[in-house]
Amino acid sequence: MKKSLIILPVLLGFNCAVYALESGASFLKIDTAARAVSMGAAYTALASGVEAISYNPSGLAMAKGLEVGFSHTNWLMDSTHDFIGVAMPIKSIGTGNYLGGWVAGLGITRLSNSSIEIRNADRSAGGSFTSYEEAVSLGLGRTIGRSRFGLGIKYLESYIAGEKARGAAVDIGFNRTLNTRLPITIGLAVQNLGSGLKYMSQRDPLPLSFAAGFSFSIVPGINLALDSKRFVYDKQTTISFGTEYVVLSGLALRSGYLTNTVSSLKGKGFSAGVGFSFWTTNLDYSVTPYGELGNTQKITLKKSF
């Protein structure tokens, strides 16, 4: 669907128009996992395996074997947001044996906007253009005892109406299970350390953030998670809370709340979702209301081999 847009910030896509903050590349703030969305994005301590590359690279180390993941979102303003990734333990080149605790991951995230129609001052048609933003991420995680450490690097690219900007960023992560008797995991992550994206003469900083969170399994099948994230350049702090309840074997119900979101402008920061597990496969679905902007729906498929 084509849109008639006049104001320049809107031409840059949903992320600029909605967040209207100091940083650029705001597509990096969009969640890539439906489970995370349905739990209010309280995922710094919970992220594990291939999906961790977008949240906390230390969680990569929790992959026990080859994992492949894919997510698709019908985002706002007729745009789409997609993620595809793979994670696997590293083997020694000489012996073919797994290196103790080391896991590597690769992920590609892309926000694609539909064709946008340009209107002249007299409202006549002035052509159209397309835009996209994407990140290619490489991550490495390692387990040492009950602790896990992670490092990720990203190549960023943004394209709008023939203009292209490129950049790079680094993510750092840590998580630790406190002990075997107390099912609490804590997580820390720094995301988007980089020099920013430059369009023509203007350079916008990346959405640098510091996050801390924990997850707690009250009883088997009931999980709680709490996160706090500070966006440095945007001078914004978000608090998120999520719950997960495994009703039956292979079926999980989830809900969450995230403060300081676009939807909270309408008094709504809620999200909900459901997950199914079968044959070493996880299928997750989430929905989030954004008031007059509509709802976003995400589906994620993760397969372990």
pLDDT band, very low/low/confident/very high, at 1 (cuts 50, 70, 90): very low
From 78, 201, 196, select the one nearest 131 (Cα to Cα). Answer: 78
Q: In this predicted model, what pLDDT tens digit does every residue of 140-149 receive, in sequence order?
A: 999 998 999 9
Looking at per-residue pLDDT, the higher value among 198 and 186 belongs to 186
Q: What is the DSSP letter of 4?
A: E
Rounded Cα–Cα distance for residues 161 and 128 (Å): 8
Structure tokens at 248: 């039956």
Looking at per-residue pLDDT, the higher value among 70 and 218 belongs to 70
pLDDT tops 80 at residue 132: yes
Q: Is 168 helix (H, G, I), strand (E, B) or coil?
A: strand
Instruction: Write the CA distances from 78 to 12, 74, 115, 144, 300, integer angstroms.
Output: 14, 7, 9, 44, 19
Measured CA angle at 270 (ends 265, 273), to 5 deg:
145
pLDDT band, very low/low/confident/very high, at 226 (cuts 50, 70, 90): very high
Q: In this predicted model, what pLDDT tens digit does every residue of 49-99 receive, in sequence order?
A: 999 999 999 999 999 899 999 999 988 877 899 999 999 999 755 555 567
pLDDT tops 50 at residue 290: yes
Q: DSSP per residue over 75-119, as a string? A: -STT-EEEEEEEEEEEEPTTT-PEEEEEEEEEEEEEEEEEEEEEE
User: In DSSP terms, which residues pair with 157 in a beta bridge?
Assistant: 134, 166
Rounded Cα–Cα distance for residues 94 and 126 (Å): 61
pLDDT tops 50 at residue 273: yes
| pLDDT value of residue 10 | 40
| pLDDT value of residue 20 | 46
With beta carbons less than 8 A apart as the criterion, state whether 291 and 261 touch: no
Rounded Cα–Cα distance for residues 118 and 186 (Å): 48
Q: DSSP per residue over 197-212, as a string? A: EEETTEEE----EEEE
With beta carbons less than 8 A apart as the criterion, state whether 292 and 77 touch: no
Rounded Cα–Cα distance for residues 109 and 88 (Å): 19
- Residues 6 or more apart whose Cβ sits within 8 Å of residue 106: 53, 85, 86, 87, 136, 137, 138, 139
pLDDT tops 50 at residue 18: no
